[in-house]
Each structure stands twice: as C-alpha cells, then as structure tokens.
Amino acid sequence: MVLKDSDILLSTFPSGSQATFVCSVGYTPEGGSGVVTCNAGSWSAATLKCQKKTCGSPGEVENGDIDFPTGNEFGDKLVVKCRPGYILVGQSEILCGDQGWMGRLPTCEVVTCDEPSQITDGSFSPVKESYNYLDVVTYSCGGLTVSGSQTVTCSEDGTFKPGPPKCIKVECADPKVDNGEWVSGSRPPHKYQATVTYRCNAGYKMEGEPTLECGINSQWTPGIPKCTATAVKPTKPTLVTTTMPNPVPPHDNSNTSTIVGVVVGLLLVGGGAVGLWMCKKKSER
C-alpha cells in the first residue's frame, strides 16, 4: 500500500486529520479501508487489503504455443514459441502490467524454401514460385538413373533436404556364364535394377546365386556364378574266382576245372548284379 498522492505532499497532520492509503500499482483492493486517522499523535490502523492483479488469457497464437513460466500475474511474463516449420514475427516475451498484457502477441509464419537446385540432365516437379515447409519436390532423369534421393523436402531451416541427386548412366554388361544358360529376366541393354536368372547345363553345378541384379555401379550383384563339372567316382574292377564242375561223368575226377573270372563291368538290376565275365580254364589234378 502507498499513501494517496494528495497526502504524500503534506509534511504534518493535525490531530483529527485523516490520510488515505491505496493499493500499489499492479494490485487491486480486496476489502477493508485505507483511511487512517491521526489521534493525539498516533495513527489508527489501516484495514485495506490488496491483491496482485492478473492479466488473464492473452489469446492464442496460430501454429505457436504460449508458456507462462511464473504465472500470469502482475510482473510475470509470457513466452511465445512457434512450432517446427514456422518462424516468429514480433516479440517473443510480453509483460503482465497494471492494465493487462503490455504488447501484442506475435505471429508464427510458415518457413519457405528457395527453388530447389537444378541438376545436370535432370529436372524436378512441381515448379513453383515458393515452397513451404514440408513441401516435397521429385527429381527425374529421363533415360538415366537417379543416384541419391529422388525426393527432397523443404525443412524447418528453410533448405531442401537431403541434397539433390545426380543423373548417371547405369548399364551392366551381359553376364557370361560358361556351361550355363539364361533362364529368365532382362535382355541387353541391362539397366539399373534389371534382373537375370541363369542355370547350369547338365553335368554341372552352380557356385553362387542364380539370380543377379544390375547395381548402381553398373556391376551385377551378387557376383556372376560359375558352373563347375560334377565329379564322377570311377568303379574299381573286382577279381572273382569260382570253381565249376566240368560237364563229364561224375566218376572222372581228373577233369574238374577251376574258372578264374574278372568282372570288367557291373550293372545293378534290382537287388542283384549282372556282369560281363572273362573266363580262363585252369586244370587241376
């Protein structure tokens, strides 16, 4: 509380005179009386109660947020922050004064980007005079391949991100797979991301992947496979000795013969073997 302006100017107060207290700037009366009386050299007690003023709601900021770090009473400040992709125009802090908020709320305006970068042998769309935050631009390279990101976006700092791509020629040479053949896929010229599938001829097995893709570096990925001959394990001849009776009367034991045979080839038939025999007669006594 403070003395009323007219009372401040007085230096002495006769007995029976009165003075008036009022609330300080930023405060409002909340009951009681500010009038005091001088009686025999003493002042009566003032009963005036003062309450700090509040500034209430300042309103809203489109695409922005208002924060009250210490409150919205006299002497407090509000702080305005714009959301990503928007920039603040005006003052970011406003003071709560005796008569309310001391200033106009700022505005949040959308971030704009300059025209995207031009690229050699390529173009972009859409083409506009200005681009706003989160606008997307798409690049194309005609008959060439886009190396890098095909799309760029207007970011909150006013630049397009990521950087512009390049237009490059991508063409993979026709794969040469010895002892193999083309099954399906691209035919020359092989452009970026073209795929081809190969298989090995009979009697050969593949080492590597059968399907290839033309990469951005004009190389097939994974590497070109190989067709290697299938190994055949040879069969070792088996020596077989057997004794067979000579077709003569059984009483003539002197004509018994031993047949020595060498199996020069076997063919499995069911559970048995059919062989080609070379036989030589050997007499026994």
**Which residue from 132, 37, 128, 58 is spatially nearest to 100, judged by alpha carbons?**
58
Q: What is the pLDDT of residue 40?
A: 84
Q: Which CATH number is 5-52 given?
A: 2.20.28
How far apart, in Å, are the Cα atoms of 181 and each of 175, 231, 240?
10, 20, 46
3-state secondary structure of 2: strand
3-state secondary structure of 225: coil
Q: What is the pLDDT of residue 233?
A: 60
pLDDT digits (tens, 9 = 90+) for 179-221: 999 999 999 989 999 999 999 999 999 999 999 999 989 999 9
CATH of 112-168, one of 2.130.10.10, 3.40.50.620, 3.30.450.20, 2.10.70.10: 2.10.70.10
Give the residue carrying structure tokens 């080492």: 207
CA 243/CA 255 separation, integer angstroms: 12
Q: What is the pLDDT of residue 3?
A: 83
CATH topology of domain 64-110: Complement Module; domain 1 (2.10.70)
Alpha helices by DSSP H, listed for 56-134, are none
The token pair at 62 is 């489109």
